[in-house]
Every structure is written in structure tokens, then in C-alpha cells.
Structure 1
């Protein structure tokens, strides 16, 4: 028998062993699916408890066809032998979880979580220096559940099972996906010119990851400083941002847990469009107005934090508020009528309507035409109020007459 015949026979034996391993693995596939989902759930809960923002946490069990393909790989030292002599034991990524973060600091935070929650038997920090994966960066863990967790009935069947967890940033993930699609894994297989371009790209992604992390860290420092200045009343040093306006309103009007983050983002953008440069200007605008009194004058009751604040802005700015507001640009007729209705309510409650002008207010938005439009709308609301009051007075007179005559008022 020739060497070629021997090699073919050995390859056939390896493939047959891989097929048999697949059959055994298929009976366990559901178990590994559940195991991967359980690990994902653990990491999901830990991330939420730690306040970590992540792009995604996903889980999967290795598909049987993929398992067989991996089990059929030849040994790099002896191609006539399998790389995995016992695939069911030696292939350790049958259950897998992947964490994709926005920042490098989150990768470090997950390292602590994984070590606290699981038994880590192996940790590999795969970097761009890995000769098998050009420019690839990711942290890989081989883990098992801790005995105190597998003592619980829902985890008992996962005792001693191994899983792989990969943690990387979204930029590292983008590199890995593109590199995998291009199938450029071995540096030696690349022409020198292409190697240089890959090296340049890998360097750019590493720099971008570090810069995004630095920007995030600086942003957190600035937000903390802004909140501190709000607490100290140093509003002239605080720019208008979603975080700073939330801190300001919480301090001035009291916290409102019903408000969502997007509402403060919208409000901050609106204030900047109005031309407010700092919170000191915002405070100067609304000072002198009682937010509860304004709210009760318009609605008859106290509204939520942001609604009260916007209505105080309307009272303090008058027409300037109406015609710089983003709603005016989307449905100006309704918004003008609604604003005029509020203004008439405030006037009737003896709450003065101001004309506050922020330092960077876009003056071209409000001229005589706009002021006349608002005044005309207000007169329309006055007429409606007058008709309503006349009707109430008529009913009162009818009631008084009926009572004197001893008869009932018809419905």
C-alpha cells in the first residue's frame, strides 16, 4: 500500500470518527443550547446590576454540522491523525456566549463579572500578534458553573459542562466579522503590500477603541462636574445638556421618575435651539414663576416635571417660546392655538406673560407677523372662554329661576 493510500485511509478514519462524534453530540445539542442560554441570562443580569451598557450578549450551541467539521480537522503535527482524539471532551466551544461592548472599560468590567460568577479554567487574550488571526482582538474564556450554583435544581444538569465566552468591543467585532468573511487569517498567506494595509487598519481600530474610551471617560467627568456645579448653584459654568438639565430640574422642581432619558435629550436640544448658552440663563428665565401655580392655572392640577417647566418657559418667553419651538415647525396651526389657549389661561390667573430673550436666540424667528398671529389666536381663545362663561351664567340663572319657582331644571 502506497503512502497516498495510507493517507487516504487515515483521512477516511478521521472523518468517520468525526461523524460518529456528531451523532453523539446531536443527542446533547439541546442540553448545550440550554446551558448557553443560562450563561447568557447570568451575564445579562450581572450587566444590568452593574449598570453596564453593552451592544449585545448572545448565546448559541455549536451546530452539529460545524461540530463535525471541527472534529474532522487533522492534527497539525501528524495529518494522518485527528486534531481532537476525543471530540466530545476536547472541543470546548459546544456552548458559547459572546459579549459585545461599546468600550474597552466594559471588557475589563466583564472580566471581573466572569471571574466572580464562574470558574475560569482558561483565559486567552487574543491580540493582533496572534499569527493565526491577523489583527484579531478578543478575550476568550473557558468556564464552568460554580458548585454553589449547580446545587440549585435548575442548574444541576449543567454541572461540569464547559462553555466558551468571548468578550470584545464593537470595533473589534467588526474587524473579526470582516476578516472572517475575507478569510485572511494567516499572515504568511498575504502579500506584503496587503499585510501593510491590514496592519494599518488594525492600528487605526486600536486607536479608535482607545479614543472612544477616552471620550467616554472625559464625558463622564464633565457630567459629574456639571451635576456638582448644579448642586452648588454654579449654574453659569454649566452647559445645557440632557444630563445637566435633568439635574437642574430635579433640584428646582423635584425628581420625577416617570420621565425618560429621551425626554431630557429632546428638552436640551430645544433649549439650545432657543439660544440658551448655560443653565444660568435658563434659571434667569424661569425665576419668579411658580411652576405649580402655572400648571394649576392651565390644567387645574399639577402636571409632570417637564410639562411644568415648558409651561413656565412659555409664560416667561411668550411668543419667543412659541415660534422657536420644534412643534411649531411640524404643526404650526395647532401649536399656536394650543399655546394661545395656555396664555389666555395664565392671563386670567393674573400670571404675567414675559418676553425673555436668551443670549443666542434666533431673532429672525419672531417678528410683527408672528406676534400678531399669536395675539389673534389668543383673541379667538378669549371668545371661546367668553361664550363658555356666558353659557355657564345662563345655566346658573336658569337654575336660580327654577328653584324660586319650585320646578326642576330640564337636563
Structure 2
């Protein structure tokens, strides 16, 4: 399911297969009661799906949490009937996952942050943290929350949806991948697994856990490298920083320090492309880069004044370097040279 999809909202009432409304049991919630209540609440349930998704998206953005994807769905009528039959509910409101959302985080370290964001925007009724279970177990899956719209929210927008419980699942990419594979294997629990496969299942589960751990470690190391590069770049004349090898982290720190008044809102792909171009021009350290960029800055500034708009930090490095280094210019424009009208403003070596 993609980030923009809401599963089941269009097909919750109609079903191509007949439903046995009396199959649930005389002393429990009947099929007819489920159908009647579901259809009566359907508009409100659809509204709740939209409200939950919007609120989660906003809360994650406010908290600065980057996620792989956000999914939301309304359980179809047929699936709801099947669940009531399997679980033997006595009341429709006991079905807590008719509306559901799933947050797919990048790393395990994001799980607590995402949970805190959910606590800030919903009333949490129940926690079920499967993410801290034995990593070699079959149940290595996710954090589940049961929630409601905050009780203090008032008005017609919330009147029909604020008392409906819904489910939020919070997983990492690895947890989600393992859960998807587990679902395809059609084993509901470890008790279902043949003895001959249990060791393999345990090993696979542990591998997913290890991958989760290693991804988090790599990200933490990357963050530390960037922090170190930023600290070293506080004095661009520093020998240590000038001697640092050019890479994604050091170039980003350099550009932000060299052009502090310019926009740092850049695409990661643009930074990566710039690193590759610079290295192809045989510029391998921050010191070498800074010498060339500094020579080209006057020409770059004249160039952007003529354009009538400002370069961001990546553009400023790229254009300055294009003026100062013919090798870099030829790599950047392999089809032939472009006009560089301010070459006379380049500082001589």
C-alpha cells in the first residue's frame, strides 16, 4: 500500500461473496448486527481514517521524524465479520482495529520518537510492545497502540469519531519486511511452524533483527561523522579540516560553513552528484576544494546578480568551482563549454 492510499474505503459495504449473517452465534454479536452497525457508522469511519492519517502526518512532521511510509485503512465489512466470528465479540465497540494506521520508521531508534508523537496527538488507551520481545522469536514485529481522538477536541468535526478506538502500528522497515514474509508463510505463530523449519525461521528472524541493529549503527556513525565535520568546519583555515577527505558529510559541512547566509535546503542527490563531480576533477580534500571555490566566488556572485536569483549552498559551490577550475567545468558540461562571462573576476592562483 502506498503512502497516499486508504485501503478498503470504497469497498467496505459491497462484497462479491455472500455473507452468512447468522454464523456468529446466538449469545454474541450477530452478523446482522455487525452489518447494520458497520453500514450506519461507515461515513464516520471513513472520516476517522482521514482524520487519523492527517493527524499522524502532521505530528511526525512537527516532531521532525522522517518515516519510510505512512499507511492507513478501513477494514472491509467481510473482514470485520470474519474477525467477529473468530474472536466472538459481544459488542461492536470491542472491535478496535476497524480503523488502522501503520507508521514504517527507518530505524529502531525512531520507534520511541514516533510513539511520543502519537501520545502528543491522541489519547492512548493501550500499549502492546512486540518490538522488545526475544529477537529470535517468531513475534519480532512492531509496537501496537490503541488510541482515540483526544477527549478535549470538540465540534462537529469530531462528534461522531472521537469515541471510536483505532489501532496504530509502529514498525521499522526490517520489522515490516519480516512481518510481510511471515504473513506470506501463513504461520500465525511459532506453534504453527513444522519442527523441521523452526531453526530456519529463528535464524531468519534474528537476521532481520541484526539488520535493524546494523542499519541503526550505520546511521548513528553517519550522524557522528557529520557532527565531527561541522565542528571541524567552524574554522575553515584549520589544518585538520582542510586535510579531510571530500565526502558527503564533509562537503555538506563545508558548504554550510562557507556560505552560512545561503539556503541549505538541498536535495541529498544533488550533494552526492556534486561530490562525484568534484572527485572526477581530481579534487579530493576540503582544502583543495576551498582554494578553488574561493577563487571563483566573485565571479559566481556576479553571475547570480545577472540571473536575479540566489544560489543555494550547492549551487554556490558548483558555479564558483565551474569558474575557477576548467577541469571541473569540462566535466560538468561534457557536451561543450558554456558561456562564463565573468572569468575576469576569478582570483588568480
Do both proteins adopt the same fold according to a TM-score greater than 0.5, normalized to the shorter chain? Answer: yes
Larger Cα-atom Rg: 1
Q: Deviations over 1:141-193 (max 9, x none)?
A: 11112222x22442232222111111111111111112112201232222212
In 1, the alpha carbon distance for the partners of 2:117 and 2:160 equals 23
* Structure with greater helix percent: 1
Q: Deviations over 1:296-346 (max 9, x none)?
A: 27984675244443343233322x223433x41xxx2xxx231xx32xx34
Aligned residue in 2 for 1:125: 129
Aligned residue in 2 for 1:84: 89
Q: How far did residue 219 of structure 1 move?
A: 0.9
Q: How far did residue 127 of structure 1 move?
A: 5.0
Aligned residue in 2 for 1:310: 318
In 2, the alpha carbon distance for the partners of 1:120 and 1:308 equals 48
Matched, 1:248 2:254: yes
Secondary structure of 1:55 counterpart: strand
Whether contact under 8 Å (2:144, 2:169) holds in the other structure is yes
In 2, the alpha carbon distance for the partners of 1:257 and 1:188 equals 56
TM-score by length of 2: 0.81
Q: How far did residue 47 of structure 1 move?
A: 0.9
Among candidates 277, 283, 308, match of residue 276 of structure 1: 283
Whether contact under 8 Å (2:148, 2:164) holds in the other structure is yes
1:119–1:190 CA distance, 2 compared to 1 (3 A): same
1:33–1:100 CA distance, 2 compared to 1 (3 A): same
1:279–1:93 CA distance, 2 compared to 1 (3 A): same
Q: How far did residue 222 of structure 1 move?
A: 1.0
Whether contact under 8 Å (1:243, 1:264) holds in the other structure is no
1:350–1:51 CA distance, 2 compared to 1 (3 A): closer
Whether contact under 8 Å (1:317, 1:353) holds in the other structure is no
Query: Over aligned residue pairs, what C-alpha RMSD do you find?
Result: 2.8
- Structure 1: where are the runs of 5+ without partners? 1-8, 75-82, 355-411
In 2, the alpha carbon distance for the partners of 1:298 and 1:36 equals 47
Q: How far did residue 27 of structure 1 move?
A: 1.6
Aligned residue in 2 for 1:337: 337
In 2, the alpha carbon distance for the partners of 1:244 and 1:108 equals 30
TM-score by length of 1: 0.70
Whether contact under 8 Å (1:59, 1:96) holds in the other structure is yes
In 1, the alpha carbon distance for the partners of 2:116 and 2:95 equals 25
Instruction: Write the mapping of 1:13-92 to structure 2, written as runs, cut at 5 A.
Output: 13=26, 17-73=30-86, 83-86=88-91, 88-92=92-96
Tell me how many residue pairs correspond in the alignment: 320
Whether contact under 8 Å (2:105, 2:173) holds in the other structure is yes
1:294–1:17 CA distance, 2 compared to 1 (3 A): closer
In 2, the alpha carbon distance for the partners of 1:144 and 1:311 equals 53
Aligned residue in 1 for 2:192: 189
Secondary structure of 2:284 counterpart: coil
Aligned residue in 1 for 2:298: 292
Secondary structure of 2:199 counterpart: helix
**Which has the larger displacement, 165-174 or 29-38?**
29-38
1:255–1:242 CA distance, 2 compared to 1 (3 A): farther
Secondary structure of 1:72 counterpart: helix
Whether contact under 8 Å (2:146, 2:168) holds in the other structure is yes
In 2, the alpha carbon distance for the partners of 1:159 and 1:146 equals 7
Where relative contact order (Cα < 8 A, 6+ residues apart) is larger, the structure is: 2
Q: How far did residue 290 of structure 1 move?
A: 5.3
Q: Deviations over 1:101-135 (max 9, x none)?
A: 111111110111122222211101125969xx934
Matched, 1:204 2:211: no
Whether contact under 8 Å (1:19, 1:68) holds in the other structure is no
In 1, the alpha carbon distance for the partners of 2:121 and 2:300 equals 52
In 1, the alpha carbon distance for the partners of 2:44 and 2:292 equals 63
